[in-house]
Amino acid sequence: MRFYKIPVFLANEACPNMCIFCNQYAIASQEDIPRPEQLPGLFDKHFHTFKKPERIVEVAFFGGNFTGLNIEKQKKYLEVALKYLNEGLINGIRISTRPDYVDEERLTLLKEMGVSAIELGTQSMDETVLKICKRNHTPEDSIKAAELIKSYGIELGMQMMTGLPGDNDEKSIFTAKEIVRLGAKTTRIYPCLVVKGTELETIYNNGKYKPQSLDEAIKLSAKLVSIFEDNNVNVLRVGLHPSEGFIRGEELVTGPFHPAFGELVRSVMWYQRFKNSTFPDVEEICITVNPKCLNAAIGHSACNKNWLKKKFSKVVFKTDKNVSPKEFYAYPC
Ligand code: SF4
């Protein structure tokens, strides 16, 4: 079964204020925001790219503050998606929104319109960090929203950021543990970047903000992913999706950006796993991992394999789907 997502990006739509790190117009202009009547064309364009007939398709309304849109506009967007859901063409509808824009009235509508998953832009569970970032909501808002979403039988996702102004590793780990405690089924981890046109850019230019280094962001994200995976929270993404502008450096001022950030994090997790393991005392070693983990185990640009090659004259990776994704077997070749 192949999973496909149809993203509907509503850049900064219905945001009550601009959070200091955010400028979604750097990624998409206002003219790029699809209107409800454009959705069938957008969906059909995606369907033409789906190759596998055995598939799960989800429509995801991302960016901005979906439940901050007026009720009529929310309905118009969701009516189109619901039609596709009722016709069996898609399997789920996902939205992302702010914790302080979740209440019973909004959830009743979302439930009626077939929304199956809500991702809360939690960002941090530390009150000071939220204040400095001008999020204009509190950790209590996130707790209330999370409980309410679960009570409606809608899948709860909670996104978090690292390296925000006023933040540190301890606070990020606390945020991750709160996300676990609140029963989120999914999460996304986004290291804070200094994006052009944001208040954070000015703060950075005034020397009042020091972003995480790439190495710091990778190491912290690796710890957070471990916390989530140990508690069965599905990590949907680590690191911002690399838009063309980010890759060309047109939108990014500075910060721990890498187009393969998630891959680097997984590589570090496997490096730590290898480093903390005892290997047989042999010349040539075979390592068997789950096929889904092969690339991460070998490491970004084969970094883990090269590290192992300092210990063994020959290193061969093999796969076996019966091996648990967190384990490996090492034996003489
Ligand atoms: S972080 Fe979310 S709520 Fe804040 S400005 Fe960006 S899209 Fe809007």
Scored b (16 or more CB within 10 A) or e, 17-52 reads eebbbbbbbbbbeeeebbebeebeeebeeeeeeeee
- Do 197 and 294 lie in one domain? The reply is no
- Do 78 and 213 lie in one domain? The reply is yes
Residue 243 confidence class, pLDDT cut points 50, 70, 90: confident
Instruction: Please choose, from the candidates 275, 167, 266, 170, the residue with its C-alpha nearest in 3D space to the C-alpha of residue 222.
Output: 266
- Which residue's structure tokens are 């509508």? 109
Decide if pLDDT at 31 tops 80. Answer: no
Nearest CA to ligand 1 atom 3: 15
Q: Which residues contact 129 (CB under 8 A, 6 or more apart)?
A: 123, 164, 165, 166, 167, 171
Question: Of all residues in the chain, what percent carry a pLDDT higher than 70?
Answer: 98
4 Cα: distance to centroid of ligand 1 (angstroms): 25
For residue 56, what are the β-bridge partners? 3
Taken in order 278, 281, 283, 285, is the CA torsion positive or negative?
Answer: negative
Question: Of all residues in the chain, what percent carry a pLDDT higher than 90?
Answer: 90
- Do 327 and 217 lie in one domain? The reply is no
For ligand 1, what atom is nearest to the CA of residue 21? 1
Between CA 49 and CA 3 the distance in angstroms is 13
- Do 35 and 105 lie in one domain? The reply is yes
Q: In what order do the strands lie in the sheet with 186-191?
A: 2-9, 55-62, 92-97, 115-123, 155-162, 186-191, 234-238
- Domain-located, residue 171: yes
331 Cα: distance to centroid of ligand 1 (angstroms): 50
Q: Is 121 in the pocket of ligand 1 (CB under 6 A)?
A: yes
Q: Is 96 in the pocket of ligand 1 (CB under 6 A)?
A: no
Nearest CA to ligand 1 atom 6: 22
- Do 173 and 122 lie in one domain? The reply is yes
Residue 169 confidence class, pLDDT cut points 50, 70, 90: very high
- Do 115 and 245 lie in one domain? The reply is yes
Q: What is the pLDDT of residues 192-220, one digit of tens each?
A: 999 999 999 999 999 999 999 999 999 99
143 Cα: distance to centroid of ligand 1 (angstroms): 18
Decide if pLDDT at 97 tops 90. Answer: yes
Question: What angle, rounded to 10 degrees, do the helices at 39-49 and 71-86 form?
Answer: 40
Q: Which of 230, 259, 288 is the last residue of a domain?
A: 259
CB atoms within 10 A of CB 58: 18
Mean pLDDT of 130-141: 98
Nearest CA to ligand 1 atom 5: 18
- Domain-located, residue 70: yes
- Do 249 and 312 lie in one domain? The reply is no
Domain that holds residue 226: 2-259
- Do 65 and 210 lie in one domain? The reply is yes
226 Cα: distance to centroid of ligand 1 (angstroms): 27
170 Cα: distance to centroid of ligand 1 (angstroms): 24
- Do 124 and 207 lie in one domain? The reply is yes
- Do 87 and 228 lie in one domain? The reply is yes
Mutate to test the pocket of ligand 1, among 8, 12, 23, 101 (most ligand atoms within 8 A of CB): 12
Decide if pLDDT at 141 tops 90. Answer: yes
Which DSSP string do the residues of 287-318 spell out, in sequence order? EEE-GGGHHHHH-GGGHHHHHHHTT-SEEEEE
Q: Is 65 in the pocket of ligand 1 (CB under 6 A)?
A: yes
Instruction: Please choose, from the candidates 87, 102, 91, 13, the residue with its C-alpha nearest in 3D space to the C-alpha of residue 58.
Output: 91
Mean pLDDT of 137-165: 98
- Do 323 and 289 lie in one domain? The reply is yes
- Do 248 and 283 lie in one domain? The reply is no
156 Cα: distance to centroid of ligand 1 (angstroms): 19
Mean pLDDT of 167-191: 98
Mutate to test the pocket of ligand 1, among 13, 24, 133 (most ligand atoms within 8 A of CB): 24
Domain total of the chain: 2
- Domain-located, residue 100: yes
CATH code at position 143: 3.20.20.70
Q: Which of 209, 232, 259 is the last residue of a domain?
A: 259
- Domain-located, residue 9: yes
Is the CB of residue 80 less than 8 Å from the CB of residue 35? Answer: no
Between CA 168 and CA 128 the distance in angstroms is 11
Q: N- to C-terminal Cα distance for the chain?
A: 34
Dihedral in degrees, nearest 10, Cα atoms 234, 240, 243, 249 = -160
- Domain-located, residue 264: no
Decide if pLDDT at 30 tops 70. Answer: no
Taken in order 174, 175, 176, 177, is the CA torsion positive or negative?
Answer: positive
H-helix or E-strand containing 94?
A: strand 92-97
- Domain-located, residue 305: yes
Question: What angle, rounded to 10 degrees, do the helices at 71-86 and 104-112 form?
Answer: 30
Mutate to test the pocket of ligand 1, among 19, 62, 120, 159 (most ligand atoms within 8 A of CB): 19
- Domain-located, residue 272: no
- Domain-located, residue 161: yes
pLDDT at 29: 64
Q: Which of 228, 259, 290 is the last residue of a domain?
A: 259
